[in-house]
Amino acid sequence: MLSTLKKEPSMVMGLLSGAAIAYGGYKLGSYLKENDFFTKLPSIDVPFTKESNGGELVAKVLSEQGVKYVFTLIGGHISPILAGCEKENIKVVDVRHESTTVFAADGVYRLTGTPGVAAVTAGPGLTNTITALKNAQLAQSAVILIGGATSDLLKGRGSLQDIDQFALVKPHVKWCTHISKVSDIVPALERAFKIAVDGTPGPVFIEFPIDTLYPEPVTSSWYQKNKVQNQSIASRITNAYISFHLGRIFSALGSTIHIHSKRPLLHKTPSTGDINTLIKKLKTAKRPVLIVGSQVTQINDLYTIETLQRAIQNLEIPVFTSSMSRGLLGSSHPNLFRHCRSYALKNADLVILAGVTCDFRLGYGKSINSKATVFGINKDQVDLYKNRSPTYAYQYDPGTFLVNLYSNIQSAKLPENWKEWVDDLTEKDIDRNVEISGLAKLAAKEGFMNPLRALQMFDEVLPHKTIMVADGGDFVGSAAYIVRPRGPLSWLDPGVFGTLGCGAGFALAAKLVHPDYQVWCIYGDGAFGYSIPEYDTFVRHNLAIGAIIGNDACWMQIMRDQKDILGSEVACNLAYTNYEQVVKAFGGEGFKVTNEAELKLALDSSELILQENTKPVVINCIIDRNDFRKGAISV
């Protein structure tokens, strides 16, 4: 027998070693055991027959989980999933780069609370998602990433696009698993949706070998080609193993598969003692500040975003918002402040960090008055204590905490001596607004626009129902001082990772989720380079998405300090590219503007185009270089 095996090592040993890698390295473990959170949910029964396929099961689970969109770039490994989604009336949105699939899935979660779904093919399809996947992890966004893979029998044998995908993905997700048989599909996916949203939300990855997704007759026909026709011992072992492998994959044939409904997302109710401790401290505070982060806006089934908005508005505490929480108080609430956060934190005697981490954005905790009483409210235990331990650390969902705080604080009499503090902050904010308005009036060089004035004009024409997407460095940083998000969940930016290239994916999600809203991207000319191919996607899917590009032919945020410190502009300069012509070539509309009259005409024309809701539009705004954000590099 040994001599026979030596004569035919490539087939026998290759198959067995490949199987050992597959089954030894990716065991599913105990997660398939029934749990109360599944067994108590309503379910549908799906018979699995020879005509059925794993892709259809995936689609049925997605449908039961409330998924309305799947973002993809097609590949043979995952085709049955996409065909199954089409049958389930889940909109399949095909894009031009895999990173866009994950950015779009991330955007869907942020806007709806339902994990977004991206499906990509094996190998390079998956590797292209890594930056967006890491961005979702750091932004704490629940994303379900589905990846194709080669057959378990061919793993490690040089199959097309076969790599160790877990080695790449594992550091960037909450959980990952490998599907080795059809009966694993439903419980693994249901588990993935639970893990993605529980605790600190984040992405998960599920790897589907190609033979778990296609119908049994199709998969069997592939393996028949590999069967050895002679009757040697080696060939009989090989053929027996192939039959065993097929039987294992399709052990669900003839059975009924239970698919459970979506599980409600609830959060732990904050204790009355913790709420009352904060109320007691607020009664004696003279200079309180509430800093609100993206975690506060993560949607659940306990309250609406409007309930959260009313709670924070009525707390009467000076509020600063960041990232996804921008717009939470509307565009001009009297308790909302924009420009004097550093001053407020240095002078506050009580600081509430609601879903905010003491990372570089808060000077690693040093931006906060060392004598202040700090309340940290965060889902994530690591983030709660990062760099500076709060005086009171509460591991709760911060949105739920603030809603409960307002419910309890209504019966408590808070001091009226905050008025002097609020007036102080208001004066600081007004002074900064006056300063920015003065800078916006400065004349630019002939043929260029003052970027601050361009952003003022942009802000003035946006309707209330607008979602803005921020993708860039210097121009977007300037926009944060001037452009006012109109309401809750109306501002999308990458978050702490500072990733460029999120614009197209976020805009795609926003327009699909809220088709009655205008969606506008604010791009730097450098960042726009990442999104250009997706204008083909917008046109093909009839998505009317607007964009304004601050085009200074430069990576300005880097160039200012690089030139001053190192005396070099190397790799910083671009060209004044006619981006509007590129978008026109894809079938969209575009305008190039160099002065206020041209920008006004372009904004008015864009408004009409977006109202027609048929195609995307880009305004290529040629802007002057300035030093408004000098020294803005963060480290």
Strands 175-178 and 143-149: unpaired
Q: Return all residues near 240 (Cβ < 8 A) that are at least 6 apart.
A: none
Measured between alpha carbons, how far is 466 from 491 in angstroms, rounded to an integer?
9
Decide if 97 contacts 73 (C-beta within 8 A): yes
What is the mean predicted confidence (pLDDT) over 244-271?
Answer: 89
Q: Return all residues near 316 (Cβ < 8 A) that are at least 6 apart.
A: 335, 414, 418
The distance of Cα 277 from the centroid of its chain, to the nearest Å, equals: 34
| Residue 155 in this model has a pLDDT that exceeds 80 | no
Specify the long-range contacts of residues 462-466, CB closer than 8 Å, at least 24 apart. 462/486, 462/518, 462/520, 463/518, 465/514, 465/516, 465/517, 465/518, 466/490, 466/517, 466/518, 466/519, 466/520
| Residue 10 in this model has a pLDDT that exceeds 60 | no
| Residue 627 in this model has a pLDDT that exceeds 90 | no
Residue that the structure tokens 């809701």 belong to: 613
3-state secondary structure of 523: strand
Measured between alpha carbons, how far is 544 from 524 in angstroms, rounded to an integer?
20
| Residue 557 in this model has a pLDDT that exceeds 70 | yes
Q: Which amino acid is at 77?
A: H
Decide if 104 contacts 501 (C-beta within 8 A): no
Structure tokens belonging to residue 612: 């027609």
Decide if 484 contacts 538 (C-beta within 8 A): no
Residue 466 has what pLDDT?
97
Measured between alpha carbons, how far is 559 from 561 in angstroms, rounded to an integer?
6
Residue 39 has what pLDDT?
59
Residue 38 has what pLDDT?
56
Q: Return all residues near 582 (Cβ < 8 A) that are at least 6 apart.
A: 532, 535, 590
Measured between alpha carbons, how far is 558 from 574 in angstroms, rounded to an integer?
13
Angle at 213 between CA 211 and CA 47, to 5 degrees: 120
Model confidence at 614, in pLDDT bands (50, 70, 90)?
Answer: confident
Measured between alpha carbons, how far is 461 from 214 in angstroms, rounded to an integer?
51
Residue 34 has what pLDDT?
42
What is the mean predicted confidence (pLDDT) over 572-587?
Answer: 96
Specify the long-range contacts of residues 228-234, CB closer than 8 Å, at least 24 apart. 228/8, 228/11, 232/4, 232/8, 233/1, 233/4, 233/5, 234/4, 234/5, 234/7, 234/8, 234/11, 234/12
What is the mean predicted confidence (pLDDT) over 174-183?
Answer: 95
Q: Return all residues near 155 (Cβ < 8 A) that are at least 6 apart.
A: 18, 19, 21, 22, 149, 162, 209
Q: Which residue has the higher pLDDT, 239 or 176?
A: 176
Residue 43 has what pLDDT?
83
Query: Which tens digit of pLDDT belongs to each residue from 379-438?
Result: 999 999 999 999 999 999 999 999 999 998 876 656 667 889 999 999 999 999 999 999
Mean pLDDT of the chain: 89
In eight-state DSSP terms, residue 20 is H
Q: Which domains are seen in the chain, by residue range?
A: 2-26+44-259 (3.40.50.970), 272-427 (3.40.50.1220), 441-622 (3.40.50.970)
Size of the chain in residues: 635
What 3 state SS string does 332-350 have? CCCCECCCCHHHHHHHCCE
Residue 415 has what pLDDT?
63
Q: Which amino acid is at 17?
A: S
Task: Quote helix, strand, coil % in the chain, to nearest 5.
Answer: 45, 15, 35
Q: Which amino acid is at 329?
A: L
Measured between alpha carbons, how far is 490 from 527 in angstroms, rounded to an integer?
20
Structure tokens belonging to residue 102: 């994950």
CA proximity to 412, closest of 585, 220, 595, 277: 277
What does each C-alpha distance from 237 to 12, 224, 364 come to in angstroms? 8, 14, 62
CA proximity to 588, closest of 615, 609, 607, 549: 615
Measured between alpha carbons, how far is 428 from 105 in angstroms, rounded to an integer?
39
Measured between alpha carbons, how far is 172 from 321 in angstroms, rounded to an integer?
27
Residue 301 has what pLDDT?
87
What is the mean predicted confidence (pLDDT) over 101-127?
Answer: 97
Q: Which residue has the higher pLDDT, 160 or 59?
A: 59
Query: Which tens digit of pLDDT belongs to each residue from 208-224?
Result: 999 999 999 998 888 77
Beta bridge pairs of residue 520: 468, 546
